[in-house]
Amino acid sequence: MGQENLLYNTLSINISKLTQHFIVYENDIKKISEFSHNDLINDWHIEHIRRFNIKAQYLIFSLNRMQSIANTLLNINSSKIDEVEYTSLIMLHRSACRDVCINIDVYIEGIKTFIRYYFFMDKNKTDNTKSFISTLLEYKKLTKWEYIDNFIKACKTLHKDDDANFLKTIRDNEMHNSSPLELINYEFAEGILIPVAKDFVISNELLHNKIVNVIKVLENVCSLLQKLVEHISPFDINSFLETRNGTLKNILRLEERYKKENEYVKQFLILKD
């Protein structure tokens, strides 16, 4: 439990030091009472942080499962365990590593989604890393810019990280081609090829260690994200944008963001019983 709490502290956003007031685009304060709960909550940074932190929990749960199975494999004597059971443990560990890769991918997208929301970025125009970062650079004249700048540097480090790109390549191939995780080595004997069941081209150990390395990079990104939201509030951003009068590239007005967020939730509300 201690390890789980430690990971949660380093991969999630702590709201205890943040302003929790919401901003509405309606000038008439009396209209607030007419809003529905979803109208208000959906465009509230604390709600978006809650959603991001759930992604962190999914990632942590899968990491703990991966490490737990790895510990079991390290502590057993393979010569004293049934071959079928040992092979099953190896496959369970591999499956757990695969789940972590998926949740790392979702977590990274969660960071980008939250930043797009927080800085009023048009998600359709900031889908790739280049446009995402160039749009953040529009805030260069914002007070306390250094917190955004440090976050951008951490994102660039993640984007260039060899292990992170290795895991991304695996995920991309799983989605669009044949999974590299299914490739195994063969041995040649008496004129025939014989698959070696537990001899994967990408070993469990390699996959596990690359995941651990990427988590360290993500912890740094999240740490700088935490500092960003602590020092630059939604009110700071809104005040800055009001002076620009909607002239910044790929950045929405408050009422535009509100309506887009509202439309997003409404498409799922119709699924309720």
> pTM of the entire structure?
0.88
Q: What is the pLDDT of residues 29-48, one digit of tens each?
A: 555 555 554 555 556 888 89
25/224 Cα distance (integer angstroms):
29
User: Which phi-psi region, left, alpha or beta, contains residue 191 (left: φ > 0; alpha: ψ -120 to 50)?
Assistant: left
- All structural domains of the chain with their residue ranges: 2-10+36-269
Q: Residue 185 corresponds to which tokens in the numbers above?
A: 């080595």
- Average pLDDT value for the chain: 86
Q: How far is CA 23 from CA 42, 108, 128, in A?
A: 11, 26, 28
Specify the 3-state DSSP secondary structure of 29.
Answer: helix
Which residues sit opposite 31 in a β-bridge?
Answer: none
pLDDT band at 26; cut points 50, 70, 90? low
pLDDT band at 155; cut points 50, 70, 90? very high
DSSP labels, 85-123? HHHHHHHHHHHHHHHHHHHHHHHHHHHHHHHHHHTTB-T
